[in-house]
Structure 1
């Protein structure tokens, strides 16, 4: 039964990753109003969330790259994988939810951990479930110790909202873990949100991939064939 659960969980998360950013943004857009109300500053929250969603077309871009004759090479971005969104003791709900929206928009599976704002977490996740985002894709882990969570298997990145000392503590703990290198995405500016307004902010939640297709093998290239005659 456990094996079947893991299989289904993996398939659901993979399906979310394979959606276009445009489709993921449609789900998130439907939840923005409720998420904004949880921050205490609905107007500012809507502005931030819509700013993040405005970069959606960028995430769906595919760039053609030069390569060997007879190959088609496409550069695109995709989700990094399992992502933990952490709110420190001093974190504001707006920043935590902004990190959450960014992680979901880019196609990642997200685990939310913000024990100091447990009710906000519950309401945020409920709002996301209501717009069709699966429980496999977004979950809460406030009942677990942070140190234990940071050592979970195949944790790709941690998005931290908090003061510098909290970020440093988490980074140090991650440095002591085994397995894959876990990236830290920190937001320490609780009021100005400077970290989240940079043009490359969303790129921190993704990784680049190249898709290579052998065009001669899937149908031939008449020009190449002529070169041999």
Structure 2
């Protein structure tokens, strides 16, 4: 039976889609500058300690070589192909109570670096993380790419909506399997699922290439042969030469 999103959840998703389009349109270098400003503010939040900011720095350092602003790939018939990366869309990030705050902020920072908007159900210990990001966005006159919602609505409504591009999760394997089952049964686009279920080693979020799980690739093709840009190849194709 098709899933129907209630009006309040649909409004949050609409805002997240709008925020994604705005945030994703910012150049990668500018996004990274905003992320670095966020990290500096996080370092001033004594309640968090230094590890959350260091996790943000870790992914901000390793992400740039993996994110392409435009790589030229000449085509066999003379067309120009430009390959670049972009955010996939709105992501939901869920953290169970007492889950690793470093795991949560790693998923959040990678989602944002890649160009996605994010919807979270914040735990009390996440408030400083959200408020510092809001300060950076307000100061830079940038639309806040992070939205908040009730935890029950995230699990029972929002992640079932086809507009949600993916889910990041920090918590137990049992809950991760339940969320994965929900995503597998929904209609619409296939959602990415990134789960951190190792609270001690944080094996998933310590991956230097984690940001790649939050991106999509896009190709802009300019076909100059369509307007006579390569008459020789056109003639070969017609069998006249």
- TM-score (normalised: structure 2): 0.78
User: What's the offset of the Cα at 1:62?
Assistant: 2.9
Return the match for 1:176 from 175, 182, 185: 185
Mapped partners of 2:117, 2:34: distance in 1: 15
Q: CA deviation at 1:60?
A: 3.0
Q: Please say if residues 39 and 92 of structure 1, whose CA atoms lie closer than 8 Å, have aligned partners that are also in contact.
A: no
2:81 to 57, 64, 73: 73
Asked if structure 1 preserves the Cα contact closer than 8 Å seen for 2:16 and 2:118, the reply is no
Q: Aligned pair 1:112/2:85, yes or no? A: no
Q: Contact 1:80/1:108 (CA < 8 Å) preserved in 2? A: yes
2:70 paired with 1:52 = no
Quick one: structure 1 residues 226 and 101, their matched pair in 2 at CA, closer, same or farther if it must change by over 3 Å? same
TM-score by length of 1: 0.82
Stretches of structure 2 lacking an aligned partner (at least 5 in a row): 1-7
> Do the aligned residues in 2 keep the contact of 1:87 with 1:160 (CA within 8 Å)?
yes
- Measured after TM superposition, the shift of residue 224 of structure 1 is 6.7
Alignment pair present for 1:129 and 2:134: yes
Computed over aligned residues only, the root mean square deviation of the Cα atoms, in angstroms, reads 3.2
| Aligned partner of residue 184 in structure 1, secondary structure | strand
Count of aligned pairs: 224
> Is residue 2:22 matched to residue 1:19?
no
Between 13-22 and 209-218, the greater mean CA deviation after superposition: 209-218
Cα pair distance change 1:161/1:12, threshold 3 Å: closer
Instruction: Give the drift of 1:63.
Output: 2.7
